[in-house]
Structure 1
Amino acid sequence: MLPVARKILAELDGIGALFDAPLTGRIRVGVPDDFDDGVLEQVLANFAHRYPDVNVEATSGCTSRFERSIQKNSLDIAVCSGIGADGEQTFSPEPTVWAAQEQFRFDFSSEQVPIAVLDRPCWWRDLPIKALNDAGLGYRVVFKSASFPSMRAAIRSGLAVGVLPLHCVEDNMRVLSVKQGFPELPAAVRSLIISEEAPADLTSAMAQAIRRAIGN
């Protein structure tokens, strides 16, 4: 047998040995809409492939609502984003950056920076405004949306500057830094929160799938 094939079989055997019996039931998972599409696809596809008898119900959106959903027992497990996010398990911090369309040019000495922000109660909305206010820099909000992908589209179009997690910066965007006059930003932290009422075997399996996809 080829070495690569042996390695794949060994990994599959290890995954299968995690549980004595096949997993069944239902798991409800909340994922941030700032997740890269590839990460979300990997989480859901890999989990469905490994645990075909488990029904997955996924909700993508603003993570500020997920904690309440966990408390109300309408979600079993969720990934929350934030600075210093509190959760049962925390992932490695990820840089947050000022992002703009590749050809975007701006001069703080003569202009107010046009920014795109999220129109919802979350730290992604507050972060750019607080950073610019603390630095005493002028800005004007030219785009607001409750949708993270829509905000990213506004940045991609060249309409505005915005704050993104580093992994969301696209090929036609560039990162703006202190060299261009933009203030430094704190790293973002993602954490898992898990309902005490949820089946432990299912949440453990989903947590592992999420960690594999994120690379933590």
Structure 2
Amino acid sequence: MTALLDADQLRTFIAIAETGSFTKAAEVVNKTQSAVSMQMKRLEERIDRPVFVRDGRASKLTEDGQRLLDYARRIIKLNLETIAAFGDEELSGRVRLGVPDDYADRYLPEIMARFSRAYPGVELSVTCEPSVELWERIDGNEIDLAIVTNCESQRAAETFRRERLLWVTSNRHPTHTEEIIPLALGRPTCAWRRTAIERLDVMGRPYRLLYSSSNAGAVAAAVLSGLAVSVLAESGLRPGMRVLTPADGYPDLPSCQIGLVRNAHESSTLANALAEHIISSLDNLSEAAIAAE
């Protein structure tokens, strides 16, 4: 009988592929680096193909590794859904989730609704803060899970979603045509803010930072009222906003990666259950891989 692929090895494989590093992946899956290396050796022996090749300090997927990644994501997702469907244990207690303010209003309703139906006896405590501060709360053992923007992070996170970053303005005001562009952006630690300013500097477009806030509602209000131009992830678009393109004189922006960070100090069944619901609710990477086949 043909031996099946090991789900734990596949999860570690996905973590390496997404972080580009055995060391960072070890943090994600809460294993030692030697254990991660041994898992990948056994996985390569099982499929009789190399899945990684060294590229400087990074680990890059081979062509066979890229093929395996699509299958691995689908296998792990189905595994988690199956466990949740047949879980008889009535969980109770409290689980702490951190979410950036700009994701809370669009992601939390679905996450909370699905999780509450599955585990009515669990209290979900939510903290809304910028990604940088959520990393600190994870390190301080103050929250169990965090959804974070992972555009350029050097920290390990399980990337499950990718979205376009877009320039936005009001569709009722010509704010974007002003000679000196008025901007409404996040605080100085915001990766989107740094990216926007860097792209404008490269183009030589003059601008002034008119509003600075980590509150997504405040930034959106400045845009919709015609006071400023901003940068948002694709899912953050609101009625009344217009997307700006290079034809309008605004440069293309990189995509935004959204990831999940787990508290390595205190793993729990509740936190793992919530993580499964978050990934199954918001994952668009596996869907994209399936659609591409």
Compute the TM-score of the two structures, normalised by the length of structure 2: 0.64
Q: CA deviation at 1:172?
A: 0.8
Q: CA deviation at 1:20?
A: 4.5
**Matched ranges for 1:10-159 at <5 A:** 15-17=84-86, 19-35=87-103, 37-85=105-153, 86-105=155-174, 111-159=179-227
> What one-letter code is carried by the residue in structure 2 that aligns with 1:194?
R
Report if the CA contact (8 A) 2:169-2:176 is conserved.
no
> What one-letter code is carried by the residue in structure 1 that aligns with 2:131?
T
Q: Distance in 2 between matches of 1:26 and 1:199?
A: 13
Runs of 4+ in 1 over 3 A off after TM superposition: 12-16, 84-88
Query: Rg bigger for which structure?
Result: 2
Report if the CA contact (8 A) 1:76-1:198 is conserved.
yes
Q: CA deviation at 1:43?
A: 0.9
Q: Which is bigger in relative contact order (C-alpha 8 A, separation at least 6)?
A: 1
The DSSP-based 3-state class of the residue aligned with 1:155 is helix
Q: Distance in 1 between matches of 2:117 and 2:107?
A: 15
1:191 corresponds to: 259
Establish whether residue 163 from structure 1 lines up as the match of residue 228 from structure 2: no
Report if the CA contact (8 A) 1:104-1:158 is conserved.
yes
* Structure with the higher helix share, 1 or 2: 2
Q: CA deviation at 1:214?
A: 1.7
The DSSP-based 3-state class of the residue aligned with 2:161 is coil
> What one-letter code is carried by the residue in structure 1 that aligns with 2:251?
P
Unaligned runs of 5+ in 2: 1-80, 285-293
Q: Distance in 2 between matches of 1:204 and 1:143?
A: 38
1:4 corresponds to: none
The DSSP-based 3-state class of the residue aligned with 1:95 is strand
User: In 2 relative to 1, CA 214–107 (structure 1 residues): closer, same or farther, beyond 3 Å?
Assistant: closer
2:71 corresponds to: none
Report if the CA contact (8 A) 2:175-2:229 is conserved.
no
> What one-letter code is carried by the residue in structure 2 that aligns with 1:162?
S
Identity of aligned residues (%): 30
Compute the TM-score of the two structures, normalised by the length of structure 1: 0.85
Establish whether residue 182 from structure 1 lines up as the match of residue 247 from structure 2: no
1:6 corresponds to: none
**Equivalenced residues, count:** 203
Q: Distance in 2 between matches of 1:24 and 1:142?
A: 46
The DSSP-based 3-state class of the residue aligned with 1:152 is helix
Report if the CA contact (8 A) 1:117-1:162 is conserved.
yes
The DSSP-based 3-state class of the residue aligned with 1:175 is strand
